[in-house]
Amino acid sequence: MPADLLHFVRHGEVHNPDRILYGRLEGFGLSERGQEMAGRAATLLATRDISRIVSSPLQRAVESATPVSEATGVAIDTDERLMEGFNRFEGGKLNIKRVATDPGVWKFLYNPFRPSWGEPYRDIAARMLDIAEDAWNSVDEGEVVLVTHQVAIWILHRAVAGIPLPHMPHQRRCSLSSITTIKKVSDKWKEESYREPAADLLSDAIDLGAV
C-alpha cells in the first residue's frame, strides 16, 4: 500500500529586514514569527499519522520541518527537488520603481509565461510531480509531509488541477506555513484540502523571498 496523503507545507516567515529576494541563497532562517507559524503547522500535523518528513535543503524549510519532526518523532530527509524556484533577481530587490527605471531588469521580463526571469514552470512541475510520486510510494501506510516553497507548491497545485502553469505571482494561494494536501485517486492526483494554520499571523508578515 502507498501513502494515504501528501501534505505540502510552505515554510514560515523568514528573518529578512532588508526585504531582499533571497531565492536559493543560504543564510535565511525563520524569524520569531516564522517559528510560531511553523509551530502552528506542526500542531495541526501532529494529529495525523505521519510516516515520513521530507524537506527542501534550504535553511528556512528545514527549520519549518523541525517542529513537525519534534512533534511526531519522525526524522527529516532532504531532497533537492523541493528547492525554491531559481530566479535571476535573488540577492537584490525588485519593485515597481526598479522595473520602470532599470534597463538591466527589462531583459529578464520579456516572457512571463515561461517565465524568462527564472526556472521554467514546466521544469518546476516536473520535479514536484516526480517527488510526489516518489513520496507516495516511499511508505507502506500513513501520510508524508513535504516542506517546500511557494512557487513549488503553487505550480504543483496547477499541474494537479490541470490548469495552465503561467500565472501572476501575486495571485498565488499559498501563504506562509500553509498546508496543501493531495492524494492519488485512480492513478490521478487530486487536491484534498488547503489550510492556513497561521492565518492570523499573516497581515504584517514579510513575504518577499522569491518571484
pLDDT for residue 161 = 97
In contact, 8 and 182? CB cutoff 8 Å: yes
Give per-residue pLDDT as tens, 132-166.
Answer: 999 999 999 999 999 999 999 999 999 999 999 98
pLDDT for residue 7 = 98
Q: For a pLDDT cut of 70, what percent of the chain falls above it?
A: 89
**Half-sphere exposure of residue 80, counting CA atoms within 13 Å on the CB side?**
1
| pLDDT surpassing 90 at residue 1 | no
Give the Cα separation of 8 and 131 in Å (integer). Answer: 11
Q: Per-residue pLDDT averaged across 34-43, rounded?
A: 98
* H or E element, residue 50: strand 50-55
In contact, 151 and 172? CB cutoff 8 Å: yes
pLDDT for residue 207 = 87
Exposed, middle or buried by CB within 10 Å (0-12, 13-18, 19+), for 101? exposed
Backbone phi and psi for residue 108, each to the nearest 5 degrees, phi listed first: -100, 0
In contact, 54 and 4? CB cutoff 8 Å: no
| pLDDT surpassing 90 at residue 168 | no
Give the Cα separation of 156 and 152 in Å (integer). Answer: 6
Domains defined for the chain, CATH in brackets: 5-201 (3.40.50.1240)
Would the CA dihedral through 184, 141, 135, 4 be positive or negative? positive
Strand order in the sheet with 50-55: 76-78, 50-55, 143-148, 5-10, 179-185, 188-195
What does pLDDT average to over the chain? 91
Q: Per-residue pLDDT averaged across 45-60, rounded?
A: 97
pLDDT for residue 86 = 86
